[in-house]
Amino acid sequence: MTVLHPIDWLVIVGYFALIVGVVVWVTKNQKKTSDGYFLAGRELGWFIIGASIFASNIGSEHLVGLAASGATDGVAMAHYELHAWCLLVLGWIMVPFYMRSRVFTMPEFLERRFSPAARTVLSFISLVAYVLTKIAVGIFAGGIVFSVLLPEINLWGLDSFWIGSFLVVVITGLYTIVGGMKAVAYTEAVQTIVLVIGSALVTIFGLHALGGWSELRAIVPSDMFNLWKPLVPAGLEGTWAPVSNARQMAWYFNDNYPWLGMLICAPVIGLWYWCTDQYIVQRVLTAKNETQARRGSIAAAFFKLLPVFIFIIPGIICYALAISGRIPQFQSLLIGPDGAIIRDNAQQAFPLMVATILPVGVRGIVVAGLLAALMSSLAGAFNASATLFTIDFYGRLRRHVSQERLVWVGRLATAVMVLIGVLWIPVIRGGRGLYDYLQGVQSYLAPPIFVVFFLGVFYKRLNSTGCLWALVSGFVLGIARLAIDTPVKMIPGFQYQEGSLFWIINHIFFQYYSMIILVVSAVVMIVASYLTAAPDYAKISGLTYATQTVEHKRVSRASWNGADVVFSALVLVLILAAYLYFVG
């Protein structure tokens, strides 16, 4: 294993010095209020917002998990990454409602639209989601990166995985606690630049080591470059049936990605994540006005098109280097005796590429990019968690508490969330793959939140009773699936009796189970709303399309121009071009 050269360490130290400088500068110019700490004083411009959204999204699940997915399944996961159009939905549809409401959090918006109870339930669900996904996965991926790049480190009986995990937490936690949202946003803007350059260099040097793009296409099976074939079950390539064999009940088995699940479930997860999740939307809420918020969303959509080429493709390159024997170390580590890739080891694909194929100096830049992504993702999760707990729980219980006290409580809440996230790492280590784990958990938690936000905005008749029951029923179904899955992941050799109810639930495609939650949540919300009184439309003025006033529409229309439309259309054209290219 190639170790980091002193020049690489100098580059990494320079990166950290730059981050420290940004944090110091931001801290000196930060407003000493909750508005300044949690929403950067609502004064950020579109580029900082767009870069911050992208950096928050691009974290561990991409650097470790998405590259591993590329090595094992090709471009199948690109369906999730080509959801840049969801950011256009955020900018053009949801931003006007969020900006005019002047809220701190997404649960607070739900309170304005429905009720305080809905706010409490969503805040709780969001905090659970951050523990199960963003925080724990970020810590885990930090350990994976360190275990590959510095495998020889051992301290007090802890290997490089655990040392790396804790280092990432401590360093990220420090600047997040000190600088608040403004520090997070500005450091993420810097980290976006480092991340994109560094990851692009991995693709470039990887292709050079392999012999070019044409050599990659010649070595790798064409199916790995087909966005559609992995979605059609084996044995039914000529049909669009959602099951591979009805007699074998093969629709239960979750070894690939069924087309129906990807068609319905993936967009629901995307719209939940990009348009309603505090983790992302908090950056939009920092905008000076609706114009900057919308343009920040459009800029983030352009950035979002990059992961297919700077994360998935390096994973495929790593697989090609392994099966071709160009790098024997890759072959021995990643390819099993049967000639198939070892999925557990595929988690190391991206850091292996960094440690092996990059020259001195360049490796330092890319490692800095790795750390940038890990840190930005965790920083966003820490800040979002602190905001949710402080504003939606503590602040509502202690309405007259000082601004300084609110900030202190937010920092304490962050520390507790980190501790819980560390305790969840063993569950993730037992899963099929980091990215699969993440998509699975999100698929269980996203549908009810998607339902209450989008139906709430488009359907004024829906009321607080319907919202509350939709959130609760959907959350219970999601947690039930996680509870059933957890023993299988944590206990070696554990399996439910074949054919039993728990076995069936455990083996349903996670996308199909997500669709069940989606339908149940929507039906519950509509039925419960119509069985109870209609909401007071005057109280939700401006919070749904049907209750917008003429002034609301005039202000929103004045916030965009032709250039915004053109750039949004360009995003859609680029997405279509990617789908047309990756057809095998």
In order along its 584 residues, the chain shows pLDDT tens digits of: 446 788 888 988 888 888 888 878 877 766 666 666 666 677 888 999 998 888 878 765 567 777 888 888 788 777 778 889 999 999 999 999 998 888 888 889 999 999 999 999 888 888 877 776 777 667 766 666 666 666 666 666 666 666 666 677 777 777 677 667 777 788 778 878 888 888 888 899 989 888 888 888 888 887 788 776 555 444 444 333 333 333 333 333 334 556 676 677 788 888 998 999 888 898 898 888 999 999 999 999 999 988 888 888 888 898 888 888 788 878 877 887 877 777 777 777 877 888 788 888 888 887 777 777 777 777 777 778 888 888 888 888 887 777 677 777 877 877 777 677 666 666 555 544 555 566 667 888 889 999 999 999 999 999 999 999 999 999 999 989 988 887 876 677 788 888 888 888 888 877 888 899 999 999 999 999 999 999 999 999 989 999 999 998 999 999 999 999 999 999 999 999 988 888 75
- Nearest CA to 59 out of 524, 435, 536 is that of 435
Residue 159 main-chain phi, psi, to 5 deg: -85, 180
Distances in Å between the alpha carbon of 262 and those of 13, 361, 436, 513, 584?
42, 40, 13, 12, 18
Q: How far apart are CA 5 and CA 9, in angstroms?
A: 7
CA torsion angle 134 445 299 435 (round to 10): 50
What is the pTM (predicted TM-score) of this model? 0.81
pLDDT of 196 reads 85
- Nearest CA to 358 out of 518, 206, 250, 141 is that of 206
Residue 287 main-chain phi, psi, to 5 deg: -70, 155
Amino acid identity at 533: A
pLDDT of 254 reads 37
The three-class DSSP label of residue 243 is coil
Which ranges constitute the DSSP H helices of 344-433? Answer: 349-357, 362-389, 395-397, 403-429
Q: How far apart are CA 362 and CA 420, in angstroms?
A: 36
Q: How far apart are CA 171 and CA 162, in angstroms?
A: 14
DSSP state of 543: S
pLDDT of 531 reads 96
pLDDT of 242 reads 38
For residue 490, give every residue at least 6 positions away whose Cβ sits within 8 Å of its Cβ, in sequence order, or none.
Answer: 426, 427, 430
Q: How far apart are CA 297 and CA 280, in angstroms?
A: 10
- Residues paired with residue 158 on neighbouring β-strands, in sequence order: 155
- Architecture of the domain delimited by 6-581: Up-down Bundle (1.20)
Q: How far apart are CA 235 and CA 239, in angstroms?
A: 9
The greatest distance separating any two alpha carbons of the chain, rounded to the nearest whole angstrom, comes to 69
Whether 305 and 575 have beta carbons less than 8 Å apart is answered as: yes
The three-class DSSP label of residue 93 is helix
Q: How far apart are CA 201 and CA 209, in angstroms?
A: 12
Q: Directed axis angle between helix 434-458 and helix 510-530, to 10°?
A: 20
Q: How far apart are CA 127 and CA 270, in angstroms?
A: 18
pLDDT of 384 reads 81
For residue 339, give every residue at least 6 positions away whose Cβ sits within 8 Å of its Cβ, in sequence order, or none.
Answer: 323
- Nearest CA to 175 out of 354, 323, 23, 385 is that of 23
Token reading at 437: 């784990």
Which ranges constitute the DSSP H helices of 58-115? Answer: 60, 67-73, 78-81, 85-89, 95-101, 106-113
Whether 144 and 64 have beta carbons less than 8 Å apart is answered as: yes
Distance of CA 485 to the CA centre of its chain: 21
Whether 457 and 97 have beta carbons less than 8 Å apart is answered as: yes
Query: Tokens 């969840």 appear where?
Result: 424
- Taking the alpha carbons of 375, 378, 384, 386 in that order, is the dihedral positive or negative? negative
The three-class DSSP label of residue 341 is strand
